Structure 1
Amino acid sequence: MQEKVSDRLVGTLVDNRYAVRSKLARGGMSTVYLATDLRLERDVALKVLHPHLATDETFLDRLGREAKAAAKLSHPHVVGVLDQGNDGVTAYLVMEYIKGHTLRDVIRSKGALPPRLALALIDPVVEGLGEAHAAGLIHRDVKPENVLIADDGRIKIGDFGLARAVTTSTSTGALIGTVGYLSPELVLGKTADARSDIYSVGIMLYEMLTGKQPYDGEVPIQVAYQHVHKTVGPPSDLVPGLAAEMDELVQWCTANDPENRPVDGHALLQELRHIRTNLTNSELDLRPPAALPAGQPNATEIIARTNNPTAVLSSSLGRPRPQQPSRPPHAPPPHHALYPPDEPYPSGPQQIQYEQNFADQPEAAEPLPLSKRAQRKLDREDEKARSRAAATPVRNLREGNPRRRGILWIVALIIIALLATGAGWFFGTGPGASATIPTVANKTVAQAQQLLSQAGFQSRTNDVFDDDVSPGLVVGSEPAAGTEVRKFQPVALFVSKGPQLYELPTLTGGTLDQAKVALNQARMALGNVTERFDEAVAAGVVLAQDPPAGTPARHGTPVNLVVSKGPQPIPVPSVVGLGENEAVDAIEAAGLTAKVAKDQVFDRKIPEGSVVSQAPANGTLTKGGTVTLTISKGPKMVPVPNFVGKQAADAERELRKLGFDVKINNFLGGFFGTVRTQDPVDTEVPEGSVITLTVV
């Protein structure tokens, strides 16, 4: 039931140990991921706190204490807390991974459940809560989403420690919890105890029997108000024909006054099993009306709290609080043992399979009748029972010897005493006694086994990879150090094989982005990235890596990369005005290629054989780039006409059209404006030469 959603943590390594594989679910306080513990090579549920909680140092400190307390609770119906930490970026809890679905999924898919299935599903939840209550732990957020049903039928309740830590850290400012299941005392800001969990169980059982929660509203405060000012009605109002014992059980658990509820999970478990054993098959297998819909989940809500919560609730909805009911008449004192010593009801995976098989049958308005074969079997059993009763004398005709009876009583008492002594030894100092698992981390196998043997435990070893513990030393144990268990329970020692090494992938030849993806998939880290020019490789392509490809390395090893910047740019030198050979040498010395244009051009200023222009004239080229040179033919030779005797103005105009510069020398003021002499005249001179005219 994994949720395929893109997430920044998926595919990353948390705290250099937990490889996040996929996102499982998101709640009001955290997001849960499926991850692999690389140290112990097992799948775990990684609960990552939302940023607003992960930055609260006070909350993180409380969470650490609560996680340690929850980790000491070892019970088959409680999800185990395995680790807790904060790598500076991510605050997380590591819990046992239960592959399967939740009770919410069952209610959503089936709607109202038959009493047999409802009791079978709630039994392990109450048993797990009972063990938690005995250990001094209170859940505070019991709801169908926190009841996990494994594929093999195991049922566990999760989120111990987290709900307690969140509630503790916010008790002065806000009420955090799933509002549909909150007990009245939690709504009113009073101290919560085991009976608060019992209230939530009662609401959950009501929802399982009817397919809906007892209270609803448009806003959370309306639901909270009803928890305080109303009394949960009997589920038989919605499920006609439901046994009165089921009504009384629900209303006993959901009494407004905690004093009128079972004191803890163990007290409730006794009554629950008593009811389940004494109900008839037709009562247990009652089919709820098909019209009852599946219950809808409630998200975790945050409700502002003031110094007078009762006033807030009353003023919000304006209703008086009715008289609270007392415990149902049949309900016994919590310490009274109600569960009879006859044959127990099936439990465990067989029980859940039986209940679910029954629940999958076609629905009917009335209980299904017995088959003829089953009826004949019941008749035969009834006839045999009557025959045995008729053959049994009502009075023993042989009273027996009183002395013999006394001896038999003495022998029986001796046997009982021996059994009691044996039991006392077994559970006191023998294999059944409780002991605490010693700390064995970073010790040799021999030292660890000796410590466990001295504590009375038998151990076995499992080799695991570990990045931090030297090969041959113990990484840890299962159960963990500090856990109190019976001595006959075997202890597993995890012995380090050193870090697990993986071959580094080939990163050269690809782009930098491709290299980053490959490193992430191989669970390696990106080291230093340097750049250099390369004439043959395009920019952005990886040229080299260190360590090289194929090198064995542990997960998280940084790999340094050299990335191409492409060919190095070369400034184009300016060679205009240089002779042809000199210009070509300068271009080639810069690493470029010189190309001389086929056509030469006249130029007034650049002498013949020198460079008139180049393309490109400036900027940069890569190695081997081409610079085209245009060579000068020198200035163009132009014939000079003779303007002697002509008007100076006409002569100057014509000469300038031919590209000459004209210099006028006036003789005697140049009164007549006539050219008397011209220099040069009647010859060829370079274009742009100066022609001197003497004017009279």
Structure 2
Amino acid sequence: MILRPGTFLQDRYEILEQIGSGGMSDVYKALCHKLNRLVAIKVLKEEFSSDSNFVSKFKMEAQSAARLSHPNIVNIYDVVDEGDLHFIVMELIEGITLKNYIMKKGCLDIKEAIGIAMQVAQGIAAAHEQGIIHRDIKPQNIIIARDGKVKVADFGIARAASSQTMSATAVGSVHYISPEQARGGYSDVRSDIYSLGITLYEMVAGRVPFQGDNTVTVALAHLEAVITPPSYFNEMIPVALENIILKSTEKKPEYRYGNMYEVISDLRKALVNPNGDFVQNHTTVDDSQTIIIGKPELEQIRSGRKPQQEPPMKRASSGEEYGQNHQPSSNYDEQSGSGRKRRNHTDEDINPKIEKLLTAAGVVTAIIIVVILAVVFSKISGLFRSGSGEETVSTAAISTEETLSEKTVKMPDVSGLDSDTAEKKLKDNGDLYMKVSEYQFSDTVDKGDVISQDPVADKVVDKYSAVYVVISKGPEHVAIDLSKLGLETMDSASAKSLLESKGLVVNVEQKNSDTVTAGNVISYSPSEAKEGETVSLFSSSGPTLVNPVVVPNLEGQKQEVAVEMLADVGLVQGTVTEASSETVARGCVISQSALPGSQVESQTAVDFVVSTGNSQESKYKYLASINESFSLQNIIGPGSGSTQLTLKIQLRQSVDGQDSVKKLMDPVTLNGDQLLPVSFKNIEGAYGVTSGSVEIVNVDTGEVVNSYAITFVPVPQS
């Protein structure tokens, strides 16, 4: 039965609207008139209200969850039976489910995902302390409130962790279910750890690890399939976080974390040391008993005789030998089908051919066991130290063969391959996946090719392992062919400027030349140079002079000072012209005809250009203002109060077709839940430019995270 808006429950709760629906219940937003607060009411669906089992299960959920009080758990206020209606009154959380948040963002930021996971783990840990296992941890049951608080909701299949209920089958969402839940086995706190691990996997990888056409396929994948490391889908995931996820999602519960507090501890370490190797993974130990084959048994195997049959041991009536749940298999009479047990096979029933095959197999097995024991004892006691080189090679070959298994592969060599080919080769050889550890300059390896790899080639590694490669950036400095730059056709100033723009250091030397005009390039050395190397430019100082003098640098000097500087060295003022300048003050020299530092004949006239300044600029200045504030949650998202960003504010304008940037605020570090004030009065822009933008810049990445368009107006100078 759907409750309509305006319906009252218990003469207290007014239904406002339906906000959700699950497999067993509908959820409504309601107003509690007694306490004047908004609440969420979870009502058991009508088809289940008449089923005493469902009603009992529904009440058990409410009673167990009502005992919990934690900032990261949705609070239960009341449990009510009203006629055929059975409902729970809960805390109303205004926000978004983690599932919808992941769908909107794709992959969450690493620090943000860890922050959310820690809050979820703290809530679940509080429930575990009360003996309550959630058994249905998934992003749909995790709510991110508008204030960034993360809460776990819907203990829909939770049970008190008692001896009566520990082995009960609990079916949660199949994409997040633990292997023990999928097989209907024993569930405990480690089942919630597995589901949290899958949820964290989805947060950082943007997808769940196991997908399929139906629920059976996905459930079987949880039981059998090897989980693909999440960094295969998002290479930005650091090592520490990936190890936490992989440990949390181990198939065997004993290999996972023992409790949620261990998970929280490692998540905190991952925030501080994202590439740390602190996660304690399990060590596989072969605890099977060693089978010792005696001399009589070996003789029997060699001769093909069957060992004497031991009389069958009596089975304990209580089932102690096989366990409480063991069901002994029975053989039935194939002809009568009456359910009577068939007699046991005797020696005469065995097919002779099968007997010979079994005997041969026994011999092979015995030989393998003997070889393995010999190798083990040789390593311990040094039995084969004096053996030949052939024996050593043979032992090594056996050891390598034993190391390889269905879950391991031999590392291929990808050195020298381009990155795409290397990645494909690793994928084709055991689903290995490539991660670039760094880029390095190399004079021998082409740009984009692999310089080195870790692990090295031919090493035996697990399938789906990460292979860290170093990629070549090519030569750090490429040799420049100076003969293609046409330096001989340039004056020395232009040539010097061109070479310096290519990262070269230029040393200009003057030489007399009867053929090259003064100030032009005569020659250069060397013919090729790399960035940072020195190039010598030989500039013509004209023909050999009788009374040579060095031309002074007049640029930026007042006209009267320039005339005096010429006279001091025996030169005279030539033609003086005027021109406006945005950079040179009125009355100062903008340029000169003879190159500073060059040699000319005494009493040579030197022409120069004098600045008239900018009369309009002296009358007006262009001003603008802004008064805004920016929330960092717009770029970081909720649940990231512990995340910090370093930001700066700048003004950007286009001046004469060129980008011009002016600092407005020095870099400042803020928390993710803070507001950044963007308030400036009387921002002075470039003269004559009426538009621009105020930009907020992430100092660490250089990214412009927000910008505001502003308009400048001319204001008379005071």
Quickly name the TM-score band, shorter chain normalised. 0.3 to 0.5
Structure having the higher strand fraction is 2
For the pair shown, the structure with the greater C-alpha radius of gyration is: 1
Q: Could you say which structure has the greater relative contact order, defined with CA pairs below 8 angstroms and 6 or more residues apart?
A: 1
TM-score (norm 2): 0.38
Structure having the higher helix fraction is 1
